[in-house]
């Protein structure tokens, strides 16, 4: 029982979002873990109640912690705390149920429903969706990618009127946190009042537009720039179509002026174009054909980060964050439900959350409640280690924790013998 019940709880947690989206959510193991702890405390014997509860929690929690450490991209401390709290409540309810009968037992069991409902709600509040951008001004968006308007329905056969008001899932997500302003041409008038500029794989910019952008950033503006050296975003229009996004970034003059060079990333032959890239913070992006930024020339104002995927620049009084890929904001690479961009349970990467944080000028903190599977190999490695740890704990429990000398009946017998001896008086006649 000490092997089958925790092992079943460990495997049952994968029925949540881990195998479907790659997200490791500790609360996917909340109900299976609470049920396993309850059964172990209630139906096992030997030792005082606190020892049975601690043993049950160790058998259930230790393999899970090993899985998160070995298979995840980060440490979801808040989710772990909530999971352990739920297991502790289940252990307490198991002790009450084992010691009592009738109403007390059923009240203890029914009392577990409250934490089972409240803890996931608390996790949602801790994770959150991010706050509003404040009053810094709207986000200006200049892009050739199909994020809004006619580009969204660019497939042949769609009437042009169908494009009115259409927006991509990412656009809908960003609008939940503040207004967006589409920009067709970069000049002083278009950038006036813009809080942050999102420049995502734009068309070729005229020299005057590049100058206007550079002046705006140096005057204190903030820009997030997605420059893809090899765009894989599907577009049914012919390669020569004027509205089609450029296959490679056309921002080399601007990058060179800021002291950067965009290089193609080296890929092994036969390697999958889509790459799951964990960031140092534990957040995850799914990239396709990503490049790498390198410093170019002396006095560069930019610092490459994340193995060149990101470059952070201080340009005059302003700042710019550049990403060497644009495919990661394609809804096919961050959600399984494009019609529900706010459904975090369908996300397959942190793309919307990270972009929103970067537009607000923040860093890329990891979600404290969940983490991501680093890779399929990491999942296999973590699962093997978790099952091996569970096996060792079950053997230790069988060989050490249940030895007869440490059992409750033996202790009670010794205590009764001492009590009888103390009450016995010698009758000398």
Whether residue 328 contacts residue 232, with contact meaning beta carbons closer than 8 Å, is answered with no
- The pair of three-digit structure tokens given for residue 115, joined into one six-digit string: 């934490």
Going by pLDDT thresholds of 50, 70 and 90, the confidence category of residue 113 is: confident
Q: What is the pLDDT of residue 128?
A: 62
Whether residue 294 contacts residue 308, with contact meaning beta carbons closer than 8 Å, is answered with yes
3-state SS, residue 179: coil
Top-confidence residue, 271 or 412? 271
Q: What is the pLDDT of residue 417?
A: 60
What is the 3-state composition of the chain as percent helix, strand, coil, each rounded to the nearest 5?
A: 50, 15, 35
Q: What is the pLDDT of residue 204?
A: 94
CA dist 55 and 343 (Å) reads 37
Q: Which residues are 140's β-sheet partners?
A: 181, 197
Indicate whether 87 and 170 sit together in one domain: no
114-136 pLDDT, tens digit each:
777 787 877 777 666 656 665 57
Report the chain's terminal Cα–Cα distance, integer Å.
Answer: 57
Whether residue 28 contacts residue 16, with contact meaning beta carbons closer than 8 Å, is answered with yes
Q: What is the pLDDT of residue 120?
A: 80
247-263 pLDDT, tens digit each:
999 999 999 999 999 99
Q: Is residue 247 part of a domain?
A: yes
Sign, CA dihedral 378-379-382-384, equals negative
Indicate whether 258 and 169 sit together in one domain: yes
Q: What is the pLDDT of residue 406?
A: 46
Above 60 in pLDDT, residue 34? yes
CA dist 309 and 199 (Å) reads 16
Q: What is the pLDDT of residue 232?
A: 93
Q: Is residue 34 part of a domain?
A: yes
CA dist 406 and 417 (Å) reads 16
283-298 pLDDT, tens digit each:
999 999 899 999 988 8
Whether residue 352 contacts residue 170, with contact meaning beta carbons closer than 8 Å, is answered with yes
Above 50 in pLDDT, residue 235? yes
Q: Is residue 308 part of a domain?
A: yes
Going by pLDDT thresholds of 50, 70 and 90, the confidence category of residue 70 is: very high
For residues 197-216, average pLDDT:
96
Q: Is residue 336 part of a domain?
A: yes
**Segment among 233-242, 340-349, 389-398 with least mean pLDDT:** 233-242
CA dist 360 and 222 (Å) reads 9
Indicate whether 224 and 293 sit together in one domain: yes
Indicate whether 120 and 149 sit together in one domain: no
Q: What is the pLDDT of residue 158?
A: 55
For residues 192-198, average pLDDT:
94
Characterize 311-330 residue by residue with b for buried, 16 or more Cβ atoms within 10 angstroms of its Cβ, and e for exposed.
bbbebeebbbbbbbbbbbbb
Indicate whether 9 and 118 sit together in one domain: yes
Residue 339: CATH number of its domain: 3.40.50
- Interaxial angle between packed helices 103-110 and 77-99, expressed in degrees from 0 to 180 and rounded to the nearest 10: 170
Indicate whether 125 and 76 sit together in one domain: yes
Question: Comparing C-alpha atoms, which of 283, 394, 405, 406 is closest to residue 334?
Answer: 283
Indicate whether 170 and 124 sit together in one domain: no
Q: What is the pLDDT of residue 270?
A: 54
Indicate whether 256 and 353 sit together in one domain: yes
For residues 302-314, average pLDDT:
95
Q: What is the pLDDT of residue 241?
A: 75
Q: What is the pLDDT of residue 407?
A: 45
Q: Is residue 429 part of a domain?
A: no
**Segment among 169-178, 237-246, 327-336 with least mean pLDDT:** 237-246
Q: What is the pLDDT of residue 153?
A: 66
Q: What is the pLDDT of residue 30?
A: 92
Above 60 in pLDDT, residue 391? yes
Q: Are strands 196-200 and 139-143 parallel, antiparallel or unpaired?
A: parallel
Domain that holds residue 94: 4-129+376-415
Above 70 in pLDDT, residue 37? yes
Top-confidence residue, 417 or 331? 331
Q: How many CA atoms lie within 13 A of 338 on its CB side?
A: 12
**Number of structural domains found in the chain:** 2
Q: What is the pLDDT of residue 88?
A: 92
Q: What is the pLDDT of residue 76?
A: 92
Q: What is the pLDDT of residue 364?
A: 74
Q: Is residue 366 part of a domain?
A: no
Going by pLDDT thresholds of 50, 70 and 90, the confidence category of residue 379 is: very high
- The pair of three-digit structure tokens given for residue 238, joined into one six-digit string: 């012919």
316-358 pLDDT, tens digit each:
999 999 999 999 999 999 999 999 998 988 999 999 999 999 9
Above 90 in pLDDT, residue 393? yes
Indicate whether 268 and 199 sit together in one domain: yes
Mean pLDDT of the chain, nearest integer: 86
Give, for 196, the enclosing helix (H) or strand (E): strand 196-200
For residues 93-115, average pLDDT:
76
Q: What is the pLDDT of residue 111?
A: 74
**Segment among 15-19, 364-368, 389-393 with least mean pLDDT:** 364-368
Q: How many CA atoms lie within 13 A of 100 on its CB side?
A: 14
Q: What is the pLDDT of residue 419?
A: 56
Indicate whether 92 and 20 sit together in one domain: yes
Indicate whether 49 and 156 sit together in one domain: no
% of the chain surpassing 90 pLDDT: 59
DSSP of 61-124? HHHHHHHHHHHBSS--HHHHHHHHHHHHHHHHHHHHHHH--THHHHHHHHTTHHHHHHHHHHHH
Q: What is the pLDDT of residue 414?
A: 54
Above 60 in pLDDT, residue 61? yes
Whether residue 215 contacts residue 316, with contact meaning beta carbons closer than 8 Å, is answered with no
For residues 302-306, average pLDDT:
94
Above 60 in pLDDT, residue 195? yes
Q: Is residue 134 part of a domain?
A: no
Indicate whether 101 and 244 sit together in one domain: no
Q: Which residues are 143's β-sheet partners?
A: 200
Q: Is residue 154 part of a domain?
A: yes
């Amino acid at each position: 029982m000490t092997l089958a019940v925790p092992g079943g709880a460990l495997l049952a947690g994968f029925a949540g979002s881990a195998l479907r989206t790659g997200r490791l959510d500790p609360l996917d193991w909340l109900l299976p873990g609470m049920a396993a702890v309850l059964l172990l405390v209630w139906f096992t014997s030997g030792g005082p109640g606190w020892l049975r509860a601690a043993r049950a929690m160790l058998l259930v929690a230790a393999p899970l912690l090993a899985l998160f450490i070995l298979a995840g991209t980060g440490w979801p401390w808040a989710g772990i705390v909530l999971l352990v709290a739920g297991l502790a409540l289940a252990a307490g309810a198991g002790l009450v149920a084992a010691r009592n009968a009738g109403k007390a037992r059923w009240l203890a069991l029914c009392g577990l429903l409250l934490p089972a409902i409240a803890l996931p709600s608390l996790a949602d509040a801790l994770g959150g969706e991010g706050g509003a951008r404040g009053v810094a001004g709207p986000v200006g968006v200049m892009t050739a990618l199909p994020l809004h308007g006619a580009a969204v329905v660019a497939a042949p056969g769609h009437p042009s009127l169908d494009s009115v008001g259409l927006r991509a899932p990412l656009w809908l997500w960003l609008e939940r946190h503040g207004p967006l302003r589409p920009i067709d041409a970069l000049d002083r008038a278009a950038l006036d009042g813009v809080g942050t500029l999102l420049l995502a794989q734009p068309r070729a910019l005229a020299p005057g537009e590049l100058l206007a952008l550079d002046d705006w950033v140096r005057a204190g503006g903030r820009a997030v720039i997605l420059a893809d050296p090899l765009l894989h975003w599907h577009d049914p229009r012919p390669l020569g179509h004027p509205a089609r996004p450029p296959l490679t970034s056309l921002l080399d003059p601007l990058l060179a002026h800021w002291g950067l060079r965009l290089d193609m990333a080296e890929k092994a032959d036969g390697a999958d174009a889509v790459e799951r890239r964990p960031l140092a913070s534990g957040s995850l992006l799914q990239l396709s054909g990503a490049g790498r930024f390198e410093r170019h020339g002396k006095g560069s104002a930019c610092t490459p980060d994340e193995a060149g995927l990101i470059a952070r620049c201080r340009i005059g009084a302003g700042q710019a964050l550049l990403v060497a890929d644009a495919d990661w904001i394609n809804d096919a690479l961050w959600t399984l439900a494009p019609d529900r961009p706010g459904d975090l349970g369908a996300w397959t990467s942190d793309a919307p959350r990270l972009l929103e944080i970067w537009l607000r000028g923040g860093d890329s903190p990891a979600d404290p409640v969940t983490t991501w599977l680093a890779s399929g190999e990491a999942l296999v490695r973590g699962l093997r280690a978790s099952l091996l740890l569970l096996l060792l704990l079950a053997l230790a429990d069988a060989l050490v924790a249940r030895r007869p000398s440490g059992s409750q009946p033996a202790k009670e017998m010794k205590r009764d013998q001492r009590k009888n001896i103390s009450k016995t008086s010698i009758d000398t006649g």
